Structures are given as C-alpha cells and as structure tokens.
Amino acid sequence: MSALSFPSLAIAHGANPSSLPAFSSPPFTTAILKRPPTFHTADHGARPARASAGEATPAPAPAVAVENSDSEDSTLFVIRARNRIGLLQVITRVFGVLGLRIDRASVEFEGEFFVKRFFVTDSRGNRIDDEESLERIRSALMEAIDGDGDVAVGPATRGVVVRKRLGLGMESAERRAKVERMFEMMDRFLKNDPISLQKDILNHVEYTVARSRFNFDDFEAYQGLSHSVRDRLIERWHDTQLYFKRKDPKRIYFLSLEYLMGRSLSNSIINLGIRDECAEALSQLGFEFEVLAEQEGDAALGNGGLARLSACQIDSLATMDYPAWGYGLRYQYGLFRQVILDGYQHEQPDYWLNFGNPWEIERVHVTYPVKFYGAVEEEDFNGVEAVAYDNPIPGYGTRNTITLRLWAAKPSDLHDMESYNTGDYINAVVNRQKAETISSVLYPDDRSYQGKELRLKQQYFFVSASIQDIIRRFKDSHDNFDVLPEKVALQLNDTHPSLAIAEVMRILVDEENFEWNRAWDIVCKIFSFTTHTVVSEGLEKIPIDLLGSLLPRHLEIIYEINFNFVEELKKRIGLDYDRLSRMSIIEEGAVKVLLKHHDLVNCYLLVVMVGTFDGDAVDFYELWPQKFQYKTNGVTQRRWIVVSNPSLCALISKWLGTEAWIRNVDLLTGLREHAADTNLQQEWKMVRKVNKMRLAEYIEAMSGVKVSLDAMFDVQIKRIHEYKRQLLNILGIIHRYDCIKNMKESDRRKVVPRVCILGGKAAPGYEAAKKIIKLCHAVAEKINDDSDVGDLLKLVFIPDYNVSVAELVIPGADLSQHVSTAGLEASGTGSMKFLMNGCLLLATADGSTVEISEEIGAENMFLFGAKVHEVPALHEKEPDAKVNLQFARVVRMVRDGYFGFQDYFKSLCDEVEDNDFYLLGSDFGSYLEAQAAADKAFVDQEKWTRMSILSTAGSGRFSSDRTIEEYADKTWGIEPCRCPF
C-alpha cells in the first residue's frame, strides 16, 4: 500500500479551495494522479482485481463513511471505491458545489481501489454536525462515485456513458487503446480560472469572431466571452441529455409561443458559478464585465407577463433538475421596438438577430415537414419545414442544463426542387420568402383575414414540429405507445398551442393506425393546460372556415371530439341546450368559430387556473372539479435578485449566513427576525440608495430629466391596457400636481417628493392605449417644466420597456403600482418581482396581490379599491349616481385642454365619464387615500425600511421554483433527474 497526503490545499497552492470555480479542475489533480505502478487504469474500473491466478475477488461496493471523532474543527469523509480517471476531480468538485472547504486530504491506493480521506468544513470554517446535512453530502458523494448496473461512466468529469460489452477483455488491444485515448482527452472540463477563460475568450475573438486578438472592441469582446461561456454550457448540456437518455425518466415538454428570455450572459455566468472569474479575466484584458453585458440585446420573443413567466419556469425546471424540454418559435423579429416621437408611440421592427445570437445552435439535421391546405382525401399539401435552433438553459447549483428548442420556418426541399427543375428561380425565392414569413413576426396583426391566417399558421407550425420531435424522441427508446403517458407530459402554456391535441390524435390515428378510443385515452393522459387570462377578449377564437381551409383534417378531428363530448354531456345534464351551447367547442353564430379554451377543457386534461374562474369555466368545474387545479405563479429569484440586484443579493446572504436561499428561497423568511435591527436597516437603505442612483442616471441619460434621490420612486411598468389602469395613475398624478399648484409655500414643504415612472408598450392597433401614452407625455411636459413644483413631482415615461430595463427599474423602485380593476388580472407576476426587491406595493385586491397580502400582511401594503364581489353592483349603478368630485375635476382638466390636445383626448374622457367600465371613478377616492398612506409611511424611514425588509422576507412563496415543484408533483407526475457531477 502506498499513500499520498498533503497538509493543506490552501497553503500548498496559494488559494482557498472554496473560491475555486465549481467545475474547474483542481490544481492538485496532476500530483494525485501520479500513481504507483500497482494502480491500474486501462479498463476504468471494469476489470476486478485478482486475489490469485484464476480466482476473482468480488469488488467491494463503493462506500462513504462520516467520522466526526478524529478532529474537533473538521468533519472526516472516508471514501472507498474503485478508481477511474477523473474521479478525484469529481469528488472535490462535489465538495465545492456544496460550498464546503477541504482542509486536508490523503489518498491510499490498493491496486485498482483507493481509500480517500477528506477533512472538510463548511463555508465558515466550522465542523459539520447536522445529521441532515451530513446525509445530503454523503448522498451526493455516493451518486458521484457509484456505478450503475451495466453502465459505466467514462471519465467522471464528463459523464460520458459507455455500455460495457460482454467479452470486453477479449477486445483487441487497438480498440482498448482508442477508448483509453478518448477518455484521456475528455478527462476534464474546460477550466474556469481567469487565465483559462482569457485564453478561451481570445481564441474565440480570433477564430470565431475573426478579429485580431490585439485589436478588438467591447462588442467583439462580448462575443468572445459569450462563446466561451456557451462552450461550458455545452459540456453540461451534452452530459445532461446523455444522462436523461440513460435514465429514461418521464419528461415534461413545455410548449409556449412566447418567451421573454432577456439577456443570457449574466444569467448563464451566475448559474455556472463563474461570475467573479469572468470579471477578473476581463479586467486583466482591459474590459469591464458590466460594459460587455450591456452589449447583448434582449431576445424579446414575447409580450409581457406570460412570456416572462415562461422564461422563469424554464429556469426553475433546469435548477430543480427536472427532465424537461421547452419549445417555442424563433421569431426573426421580436416584439416591436417602441419609439416615442412627440409623445406618440411608433413601432419599429426589432432586428434582434442582426448581430447574431451566440447562445443558439442551429440543428440543420433536425427538421420536420409541416403541411397546410390540401384536402383530407388527397395528399396535395403546401408545406414548409421546421428547423431547430437549440438554446442551452443552465440550472443554478446543479450540473443540469436543459434545452429550449425554437423553430424557424423554411420552404420544403420538394418545392425548391420543383421550382429549380422548371427553371423558375424567381418562384423558388418567393416560396422561400413565404415560408419564412411564418416564423418572422411575433403577434402578426390579426385584424384582417390574412393576419388571422398567418397567426394560425404560426400556431400549427410550432405545434406540429414540436409534437413530431417529441414523438420521434419517444420512439427512439420505446416501441409501445401505451406507455406514452408514463414517459411524456405536455404542458400547454395558454391556448396558443391547443392544436397539439388534434395533432397528436392525427398522428396516432392516421400514422400509427390506432383505433379512435385508444388514441383518445392516451391523449387525455398526457396533456395539461394553464390559462392566464380572465378577460374575455384574451380568449382565442378561430373562424371555422379558416381552420377548414388551412387544416382540414384537424377540423374533422375537432368535430369528432366535440360530437363525442356533447353526447356525453347530454347523458350528464340532459337536453339543457343553453348550457350545451355554452360548453361546446364550436360557437354558432354569424361566423362559426372554434373556442380554443373549450377545446382544451373538453379533452379531460388537467386545467390549471392562475386566476378566478370565469363563467365558462364554472360550467366545466361543476361537472369535473377534479380536472381543475389552482396554482400561484412565480418568478425566479436568480434573475430578479441575483442578476438584477447583486448588492441586495450579497446583503441577504450576509444576514442569513448562507447563499442557500438562491435555491431554497423559503429561507428568506429568516430576514423577519432581523427586520427591526438598525444595522440591517442602515445597510438595506444604502443598497436601495445605490440602486436609485443607477436608475436616476438612466432616467437623466434617457429623458434629460434630473430627479432627486430623496424622492419616492413610484413605478408602474407593464403592458399598456385599459384594465391595468395606467390612466388611473396618470389622473392621480394630475390631482397631486393640481394640489401642489394650489398650496401655500409653507404647505409645499410638507409634501413628500415623488418621481412617477411609467413604462410599457401599447399593441399597434390599440388606440386607447396609445392615447394613454400620449397623455402621460403631455402631463409630464407640463409638470416637469413647472418651476412652482420643482423636485416635488416629476413624471417620466421609459420607452421600449423590456426585461433589461426592468432589471434596472425594479431594484430602484420604492413603490410599485398594480391597480387593475378587481377580477380582471388573472395573476400578475410583476408584483412578485418588485416584492422580492423590497419594493412596497400599492394595489387593488386583484390577481396575485391577494395572495401577497395574505403572506406579508395587508399592513405592509397599500390596498384600495372595490373587491371582486363588489364589481358587478358598481357596473349596474344608475347613470346619475354621485361622482367623486376630485375625479371629475382632473378629468375636466384633460377635457378642457389644460395639457393640450383637447380633441385627441376627448374619447378617453368620454369613456371614463359615460361608461367607466374599468371603475376609475369609483376607485379614485380610495386610490388617493392609499397614496396618502404611502406618503405618511415614507416619511417614517424606519417603518418604511422595516416594511421593505418584510416584503422581501415574504416573497419566497412567489418563486417559480415553488410553482414548478407543485406542477411536477400534482400535475405532470415527474421527478428530478439530477445529472451526477
């Protein structure tokens, strides 16, 4: 027996092991792997040691023992296992990922086996005594070193799976040498130390970007860094997919037409655990990480909360180790760029791909035909092909990296060949342009028939390609469709992917030759659907004639589904034709339409509600309550605290004594016991002031308006819509301005200064929303130029609001408004982002704010307005009902042209005075009272700061990690599948 030992890694190598990157090769690897001659490696643990000639001794099972008696200041882990290349690196990496330090270690070799002793402390240098923690560490080590049946893991650091073959020892020496060589070359990951990162960045600058490494700018440095980070993602990504394939778990496929991913660089680096290393590498090259991060454009493949929710849920799926795939469309033009000229919104194309996208990998070999038009009896289809673009999505604190696959459209080779064969080059080009249109624009204007057709084409193109890919992957490993529900779960994010149901039925019945009932039974077991709207105009309807023209076979299938459903309904409720009509998939009328949300509910699949039930849903719920689940949406704390608010992230970790809250966000409740601590409050206020300084600098650079840091930053940023009531906010600002103008000078000194910040985009065809934006600018021009008001009130509109802007605005906000009319907001995740960052909420009891008030207490919010149950009576009030005088005055100011554009704003005034469907007048008095309460609280900075701390402390319930865990357990029936280190 021979042994190697070293007293202290930190002393021996001049670095604290806890500061090493989680997945870098430890500096002592080479020394350890200088093995005595008796240490055999040729078969990587596949060959048992021999006790004597012709007699094999069974290999001992891998074991991890914990001993706390040998040392008072550290915990001893004793590991015995068969050795293989890279295993020592794996073990030390496990300790690093778990946040543990190795004080000293020793290794003893016995032939092909070893006994390794590691003396370990926690991140603060203390011995580990907690039994639960010890068991978790032991389990992680066992998972890393343990073999698995007939599968051997090649180099442990890469997780490459190699099947043992019978008679491996009889293979030729040449073959064994090749395998050995491959393992040696792949024995380690790319290193994450600053020098290695610098080399990779410079190599990508020179060989990928094709710029001289001696002369490149910030954008080229960003590209070099991004490709270097992507290389590291790909290593984990490949290993994760190989591990999923080997384990064959049930997978969740997440189908969403919208993803607001924002920027990927910062999020990827933080999830990889190499933020500091990258910053140091860049600093030595003369660049700043923050400057390079700003070079990245937003991937704006969505339109608000639904799309950002999809991005948060994908992040949580990766972090929580669920076997998942995301599917969407690779829009050539994302959500339009909003340009404000003279206060009016103008839309410009978002050429987000003009400068390339280093985070995607084009899979030219992954294509599927998608067919349109034709007739059921014929095979004469006008088709396109879907090409896959894969985006790796890393989890935090885990090796798992999952896939977001986006589809782009191109013409089928058949049509190209036909055109070229006839010499019609122009027609071939036209065909390509027509095909590419399908994935070119997010949310085509569907006010025209052509727009509706393009929208339907987009939805079916996305669905068809995704379902073909899912079924292809299933068939690669299984030959029996009856087990499909045991291996596949499909989550439909809102109604956009609802054609997936008819598509799966078409494939099972037409291509796999299933009998209808057998196919239907499978379909009803694999789908779940989440609805994100309670506003009737947000529910999709498809004209039947359009569907019949574009997808005739699918219409036939939908008619059959509806017939069977209505027949069953008759058995349950009799001939109640009104109710039968309400619940039917097909809505009869002047134009017959398909109700997509009914299509989803009728399929007996699980329906997840994030808001209150509307009238239609109640009909279904009364018959099948077991099909309905309610879940609270969530957002990821990695993006909305760790990435966007690093100062707050560091402060939270300091006071909680751990960074574990980044994965286990429930630990934030520990801040409650410190909320009254004056030291925390001082540090908390300093963090908030720094964030306000960043926001104030952005406002001045963007608008030229200089704002006071002593003012309350009052923010409302979200899609512009009448039910979200930005108009209520603006009318409240007018009232505040009017009051200040009419005050005595002595009274003005008592006014709490406000900086009111609005931002959001109006849909191109939404005239009322566009007028609200113009009114905001007209009011801002009047207020900001008024010397009587000065710093007491400023109004700023932030143009082209997106994820990156939100990451700047949300940490700097003191007060955030979520003032939708009660009963019209399904959930709303914006409030959760502000809550996590310690911003106080001024809100109606609508959507998620109801649950937030339950969690943090209504006393820590500013609630106002009618409740859901009061809204119907307010809608039925008499025309001559008493009107709030303050509300009447501010509307009259707008109507009389006080802010100019009298004729342009007339329709807005008419709407709120004559109809007031969104109850601005009814809630105005209560709204002003809530604003006054916010002013009073802001004056008492100790109280305000305590409320702010309690807001963050209570935000754990609103993490997307919790949402995904509930989905996995109660809806999808999937379990984590953690790729070993």
Q: Which residues are catalytic?
A: 532, 718-719, 724, 829, 833
Torsion-angle region of residue 422: left (phi > 0), alpha (psi -120 to 50) or beta?
alpha
Separation between Cα atoms, residue 545 and residue 459, nearest integer Å: 17
Cβ(352)–Cβ(300) under 8 Å? Answer: yes
Residue 574 backbone phi and psi in degrees, to 5: 75, -160
In sequence order, what are the beta bridge partners of 638?
none
CA 568 to chain CA centroid, Å, is 39
Please, what sign has the CA dihedral across residues 842, 844, 845, 847? negative
- Taking CA atoms, 242 is separated from 77, 540, 653, in Å, by 30, 39, 35
Q: Which amino acid is at 908?
A: L
Separation between Cα atoms, residue 330 and residue 276, nearest integer Å: 32
Question: In terms of Cα–Cα distance, which of 609, 612, 641 is closest to 628?
Answer: 609
Most distant CA atoms of the chain, gap in Å: 105
In sequence order, what are the beta bridge partners of 345?
340
Q: CB-based contacts of 458: which residues, under 8 Å, 6+ apart?
A: 257, 329, 438, 439, 444
Question: In terms of Cα–Cα distance, which of 176, 161, 334 is closest to 258?
Answer: 334
Q: Residue written as tokens 């300093």?
A: 686
In sequence order, what are the beta bridge partners of 387?
367, 408
Angle at 378 between CA 374 and CA 383, to 5 degrees: 40
Residue 341 backbone phi and psi in degrees, to 5: -120, 120
Structure-block tokens of residue 237: 């990504």
Q: Residue written as tokens 């490494």?
A: 213
What secondary structure does DSSP assign to 895-924, as a single string?
HTTTTS-HHHHHHHHHIIIII-TT-HHHHH
Q: What's the distance, Cα to Cα, between the start and end of the chain in Å?
A: 28
Question: In terms of Cα–Cα distance, which of 844, 857, 842 is closest to 932?
Answer: 842
Separation between Cα atoms, residue 44 and residue 112, nearest integer Å: 9
Q: CB-based contacts of 224: which residues, under 8 Å, 6+ apart?
A: 200, 201, 202, 203, 204, 205, 208, 209, 216
Q: How many CA atoms lie within 13 A of 273 on its CB side?
A: 22
Question: In terms of Cα–Cα distance, which of 118, 42, 48 is closest to 85?
Answer: 42
In sequence order, what are the beta bridge partners of 838?
none
3-state SS assignment for residue 379:
coil
Question: In terms of Cα–Cα distance, which of 252, 249, 248, 245 is closest to 972?
Answer: 252
Q: Which H or E run contains 283?
A: helix 275-285
Structure-block tokens of residue 612: 């209150």
Structure-block tokens of residue 946: 């305590």
Separation between Cα atoms, residue 259 and residue 242, nearest integer Å: 26
Question: In terms of Cα–Cα distance, which of 334, 354, 335, 333 is closest to 345?
Answer: 335
Torsion-angle region of residue 513: left (phi > 0), alpha (psi -120 to 50) or beta?
left
Burial class (CB in 10 A: 0-12, 13-18, 19+), 542: buried
Separation between Cα atoms, residue 150 and residue 169, nearest integer Å: 15
Separation between Cα atoms, residue 180 and residue 44, nearest integer Å: 8
